[in-house]
Structure 1
Amino acid sequence: MDHEVAIVGAGFSGLGIAIELKRHGLDDFVIVDQRADIGGVWLANTYPGIAVDIPSASYSFSYEPNPDWSRVFAPGAELKRYADHCADKYGLRPHLRLGTRVERARWDEAARLWRLATPSGEITARFLITANGVLHQPKRPDIPGLDDFAGKVMHTAEWDASHDLSGRRVGLIGTGASALQVIPRIAAEVGRLHVYQRTAIWVAPKPDFRVPRPVRRLFRAVPATQRAVRAVTNAVVELFLVTGITQNRRYPFVVRVIERVCRAHLRRQVPDPELRRALTPTYGFGCKRPSMSSTYYPAFLRGNVELVTAGIERITPKGVRTADGREQEFDTLILGTGFKVIEPDNLPPYPITGRDGVDLGEHWARERYHAYEGTSVPQAPNLWMLMGPYSFTGYSWFGMIEYQSTHVLRCLTEARRRGATRVQVRQEADDRFFRDMLRRAKGTAFYNNNCASSNSYYFDASGDAPLLRPTSTLQALRRSRRFRLDDYSFTR
């Protein structure tokens, strides 16, 4: 056996669980990632305007605050530097095995360990922790003719900084969270920009501004001040996003207030009623990933920017032809079409074969996506996922990492105490948790706020919404500390 624990993914999830392993005295682990560096999405995504979409004070580990965020909503490059800082401070570099793609993971029942197949050879580990996230496989739109386009094509998650957009005719497909950040940044640079919108997005005003140096010095000198700011931002996000969405049936007025704020924001920034109508969502807030921007709407007021709402019929060698018969010619096509999310080849992102030869992706496709406390399944002993079905609480990625890490470390610590080589969640515990999630989901915005027309990645092929855990972050954290260890079987 090569290692006691193998972690797949060197983004913040992988770094976070690695830090917790070291804190608990489990030093025999490896962090495997297919990229040449750490950082996950903050390494891969470098498009113009990339930044966090929740306040920076909340977007960090609670035990490792960063007093040096330059803005209320930090730009992407600062998140990459924060990842490097965490890896260095907590001594994670020696555990990294970068440039190594996991092609398959297979549970070996006889040896009671996981076998990871990589191009450079097999890695074996007693315990496997997947920290791949979900927003890491760019999704190309299923539009006829895309491969025939003669100009430059690039996805926002695969940005080519060497491609100069100055003066070019650009078509951008999609109006999701990434496009919302890209469009204002390139609108002044390109010659012409046509934005193809399938579904309008809810946009709230974004109070983004530089954090003054005296404030940053105060955060560094008196960390309690930054913790207080974090507590406030956490509470605001938890109230308006988590509570409003996950408890929509009980507190519908929360989402109604947000919708009024968003509509007022749109009215203030877009005086043209026809354009305003085209930019107004036809579904309720919360059905799709909510976004914030104070520069998105004004971009459409520029003379060189046009919003196109007619459906795309096909991509031609020269440009885009829409269902109304119009064809626009472009030099460059930008795909702001997001990522694969709840799909068999993304969750999990590589084949995972558990006990009795069960393929986890195929199992979920048949039996619906669910995992005990969002992290483990009976079909795969000694495996925990840091982004399993019903795991993300919605207020901060780091909140999810920390409560999931607490769950995993309780299991690993107990396994060590008992000398167990096999840890498996019981089927009845998994079934009980899934029933609870389905019951709670009935009260969310997903099923109470006219989501049918939203084209949301929150929903899977079964009509479930397993990406988001329908509880508060505090409830999830409390459960990670108090779940019954007897929900697992620990065997030698």
Structure 2
Amino acid sequence: MSRDAGRDAPAAVRPDHEVIVVGAGFGGIGTGIALQRKGIHDFVIVDKWDRVGGTWHANTYPGVAVDIPSFIYSFSYEQRGDWSRIFAPGAELREYAEHMVDKYGLRDRLRLNTTVTGAEFDDRNSLWRLTTDGGHHLTARHVVLAIGGLERPKMPDIPGLNDFGGTLVHTAMWDHDVSLRGKRVAVIGTGATALQLIPAIVDDTEHLTVFQRTPIWVFPKNDAEVGRLGRQVLGRKGIRSALRAVGNVGTEIAMSGQVAGPAWLTEAGRKAAEIPIRRWMRSQVDDPVLREKLTPRYGLGCKRPSMSNDYLKTFNRSDVSLVTDSIERVTERGVVTADGAEHEIDVLICATGFKLWDKGAIPPFPVRGRNGKDLEKFWDEHRYQSYQGVSVPGFPNAFTITGPYGFVLGSYIWMIEATSAHLARAIAESKRRGATEIEIRQEVHDEYFRRCLQRQEKNFLFTPVCEGSNTYYIDNNGDSPFRPSTHGEMYWQNRHFNLDVYRYTTGAPAPSEVAVLSEEAS
């Protein structure tokens, strides 16, 4: 080859980093730690927020707290005994995230206030190119989407919503400058967030109106302050681990067991559990008409239940109204329901959750794999699917923390530990083999997806038991992209899968052909 020909040939590119992790919530933090444990240190974690914590940084509405006991909702390798309550408030989860970042040396790897707007696989150079809102470009051999499911707030699709003349707030974008004192306040939604919010704000409002589409199963919340003695007890690793084990087993049976256990057993268990819970719920509400409106008709477990000792009692107050007529439109002065009544309000709060499985909601920015394959389009046309919730064929060197069929109902932290261990193991093996590309084999992925769909056939979510539940457990394709599995199975399979389920391609360029791209390159 002539000197001129060599000069004209395009140079191969060495990426800025081995791995870019998108998201600095618990998913991103857990991924960083998992990578380090596999000897992978050339990575950065980017996030749109100015602090770590993800959903726990974004959600600061009154009453926000974890709804799984704190000694379970924490990393197994970083258990704490100094929580202020059994169900810690959101601020302590944010502090826990900051502590993790500092203890595990992740602070210098953070790129905060950086919103990723697109990711595209460079076929020629076997790397990912990410674009940010500042017009900058980042490159990495591998990319991990640790964005989380509670990422994009979902505003209700109600005519006239933007015409409201008062204050409009979504719980995931809480405005602490807005005072509710002496105001007529309305809350749309009665899910897990509303259960925490409503009792926390009712004393401030002049009148509180709650618009309910679907009632929710409510458990009593065995919450308490963790005093000095409690901290001493939980400070002992053996006792803390034993309590954690008991809590894990209970959560396994109550949640993942409902979708993974044998139908005859889960059906019997569900019906047996409904009786005392329904009895307790009814005992909390004085008015018999309200009592019926607040009691679900669908089965227990069809949508995520929640816990509160105050929520149902709130409706015994004369300054609280429950409205179950459907909302027809929002006006400048308030909310008009199907019965023609206009409910005049000053502040409208939307506790309407997130775009979890909505069409076009995930991923939250364009992701294009091999030959420009679009991830959103692929999922839209072929149903949500991924291997172990981590990998999708056609997207080499790309991994997710919360992919379809990866999350087992229960503690989000368990899933993070399992899927981050999976991807870190895969990336480390790719490096060991000297490969520039790693991609899940199509036949392996298809078999996993087939097994998940097969298990779903026994799932009570698709039976008349769940009619009218409006559950987010079901996506827009009519599937349930949660892994129909126990936590034990998820944990084991993500750590002990055959490494050859992935295809490794070796084609690293010679050092003389490498041109280095800086992070500031555009």
TM-score, scaled to structure 1? 0.98
Contact 1:286-1:445 at 8 Å conserved across structures: no
Aligned-residue offset at 1:20: 1.2
Map of 1:99 onto structure 2: 113
Structure 1, 97-106 or 455-464: larger mean CA deviation: 455-464
Map of 2:181 onto structure 1: 166
Distance 1:283 1:245 in 2: 16
Confirm whether residue 370 of structure 1 aligns to residue 385 of structure 2. yes
1:254 aligned residue (269, 275, 282): 269
Question: Pairwise mapping of residues 11-410 of structure 1 onto structure 2 (< 5 A)?
Answer: 11-120=25-134, 121-220=136-235, 222-247=236-261, 249-251=263-265, 252-410=267-425
Helix, strand or coil at the partner of 1:56: coil
| CA shift in 2, pair 1:405/1:161, >3 Å | same
2:436 aligned residue (397, 410, 421): 421
Distance 2:182 2:148 in 1: 36
Helix, strand or coil at the partner of 1:306: strand
Distance 2:159 2:150 in 1: 24
Aligned-residue offset at 1:324: 0.2
Map of 1:474 onto structure 2: 488
Aligned-residue offset at 1:346: 2.6
Letter of the structure 2 residue corresponding to residue 300 of structure 1 = F
Contact 2:17-2:42 at 8 Å conserved across structures: yes
Structure 1, 331-340 or 478-487: larger mean CA deviation: 478-487
In percent, how many aligned pairs have the same letter?
49
Aligned-residue offset at 1:237: 0.9
Aligned-residue offset at 1:253: 1.7
Helix, strand or coil at the partner of 1:400: helix
Helix, strand or coil at the partner of 2:114: coil
Contact 2:259-2:485 at 8 Å conserved across structures: no
Aligned-residue offset at 1:480: 1.0
Distance 1:323 1:412 in 2: 55
Distance 2:272 2:311 in 1: 21
Helix, strand or coil at the partner of 2:232: helix
Helix, strand or coil at the partner of 1:57: coil
Aligned-residue offset at 1:410: 1.7
Aligned-residue offset at 1:452: 2.7
Contact 2:47-2:113 at 8 Å conserved across structures: yes
Structure 1, 118-127 or 449-458: larger mean CA deviation: 449-458
1:463 aligned residue (478, 481, 493): 478
1:9-65, Cα deviation, whole Å (9 max, x unpaired) = 000000001011112211100000011110000000001110011111100000000
Aligned-residue offset at 1:444: 2.2
1:223-282, Cα deviation, whole Å (9 max, x unpaired) = 111111111111111111110243362421222233223201212211322111101112
Distance 1:337 1:303 in 2: 25
Distance 1:107 1:22 in 2: 24
Distance 1:259 1:3 in 2: 52
Letter of the structure 2 residue corresponding to residue 357 of structure 1 = G
Aligned-residue offset at 1:345: 3.2
Map of 2:500 onto structure 1: 486
Letter of the structure 2 residue corresponding to residue 92 of structure 1 = L
Aligned-residue offset at 1:103: 0.4
Aligned-residue offset at 1:188: 1.5
Distance 1:91 1:162 in 2: 35
TM-score, scaled to structure 2? 0.92
User: What is the Cα-based RMSD across aligned positions, in Å?
Assistant: 1.1
Confirm whether residue 3 of structure 1 aligns to residue 17 of structure 2. yes
Letter of the structure 2 residue corresponding to residue 443 of structure 1 = K
Distance 1:403 1:448 in 2: 30
Structure 1, 411-420 or 85-94: larger mean CA deviation: 411-420
Letter of the structure 2 residue corresponding to residue 17 of structure 1 = T
Distance 1:378 1:142 in 2: 34
Contact 1:102-1:117 at 8 Å conserved across structures: yes
Distance 2:262 2:86 in 1: 28
